[in-house]
């Protein structure tokens, strides 16, 4: 039973437009969420995070929105660039000490020039 | 500052064999976690080590094991390999506790691609 879900395996967006990647979770104990980006043949790299006490966090072209009541978060990339083409993983951090991150299955984003 | 280093990058083994993968964390990082990545499954947590002690373990069979040395370097071992063990194995290090408190982040290596024939 996946606790973190990314229901879109892939997404294609035109360069310059907005990319919206979605993530849903089931465990209400999650209190910190992170997005990681992964290029082929490389390990995932941290992109942006959000604490459960916030509903929005912005870093340049990247914004993450959190809707706790819906147990849903989304990553917005504006404007999208070809270099953003990668697999994006949503990860959740339980509040319990000693627990480990739970990752979603990932969404492959393709930004078309 | 050097990143997380995993060796080897690629491995080809046959069923029934065993394999050992190595991970050197970022200098000063004391926690090392291992993940298995397969298509469509995302990153599945294997185990985490901190100060040479296994702190947490995922839902994998006992064929998967690991250890951490006093210099924080870690190895994972898979015995009696099965075809389904073919995957990218990722190691990640963090300064203190992987995911334990607040915004502790994971820093990943490039992974070891294991193919079991």
Burial of A91 (0-12, 13-18, 19+ CB in 10 A): buried
Report residue A12 CA to chain centroid gap.
16
How many inter-chain contacts (A to B, CB under 8 Å) are there?
67
Contact A89 B42 (CB under 8 A): yes
CA dihedral over A96, A104, A32, A52, signed as positive or negative: negative
Contact A46 B45 (CB under 8 A): no
CA dihedral over B94, A30, B112, B52, signed as positive or negative: positive
CA A17 to chain B, closest CA, distance in angstroms equals: 26
Residue from A27, A54, A100, A107 to probe the interface with B (highest B Cβ count within 10 Å): A100
Chain B residues close to A104, C-beta within 8 Å: 42
Residue B70: the pLDDT is 94
User: Residue A103 is encoded by which pair of tokens?
Assistant: 């990752």
8 Å CB contact between B52 and B70: yes
Nearest to B90 by CA among B65, B108, B73: B108
pLDDT in tens, chain B (117 residues): 679 999 999 999 999 999 999 999 999 888 899 999 987 778 999 999 988 999 888 889 999 999 999 999 999 999 999 999 999 999 999 887 555 455 567 899 999 999 999
Rounded CA separation B77/B81 (Å): 10
Nearest to B65 by CA among B88, B86, B43, B49: B49
Nearest-5° Cα angle at B45, B39 to B47: 140
Rounded CA separation B32/B46 (Å): 11
Rounded CA separation B34/B62 (Å): 15
Contact B107 A46 (CB under 8 A): yes
Contact A46 B106 (CB under 8 A): yes
Which of B41, B45, B107 lies nearest to residue A100, judging by beta carbons?
B45
CA A98 to chain B, closest CA, distance in angstroms equals: 5
Give residue-wise pLDDT tens across range B26-49. 998 888 999 999 877 789 999 999
Rounded CA separation B79/B56 (Å): 20
């Amino acid at each position: 039973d996946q606790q973190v879900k990314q229901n879109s395996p892939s997404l294609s967006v035109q360069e310059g437009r907005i990319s919206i990647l979605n993530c849903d979770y089931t465990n209400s104990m999650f209190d910190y969420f992170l997005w990681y980006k992964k290029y082929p043949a490389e390990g995932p790299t941290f992109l942006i995070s959000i604490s459960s006490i916030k509903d929005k966090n912005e870093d340049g072209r990247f914004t993450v929105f959190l809707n706790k009541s819906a147990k849903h978060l989304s990553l917005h990339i504006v404007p999208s660039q070809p270099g953003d083409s990668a697999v994006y993983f949503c990860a959740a951090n339980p509040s319990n000490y000693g627990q480990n991150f739970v990752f979603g299955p990932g969404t492959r984003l393709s930004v078309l020039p | 500052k050097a990143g997380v280093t995993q060796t080897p990058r690629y491995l080809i083994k046959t069923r029934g064999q065993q394999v050992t993968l190595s991970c050197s964390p970022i200098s000063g990082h004391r926690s090392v976690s291992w993940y298995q990545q397969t298509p469509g499954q995302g990153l599945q947590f294997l185990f985490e080590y901190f100060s040479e002690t296994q702190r947490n373990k995922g839902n994998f069979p006992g064929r998967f094991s690991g250890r951490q040395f006093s210099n924080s370097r870690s190895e994972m071992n898979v015995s009696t390999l099965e075809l389904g063990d073919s995957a990218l194995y990722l190691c990640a290090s963090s300064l203190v506790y992987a995911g334990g408190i607040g915004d502790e982040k994971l820093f990943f290596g490039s992974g070891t691609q294991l193919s079991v024939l």
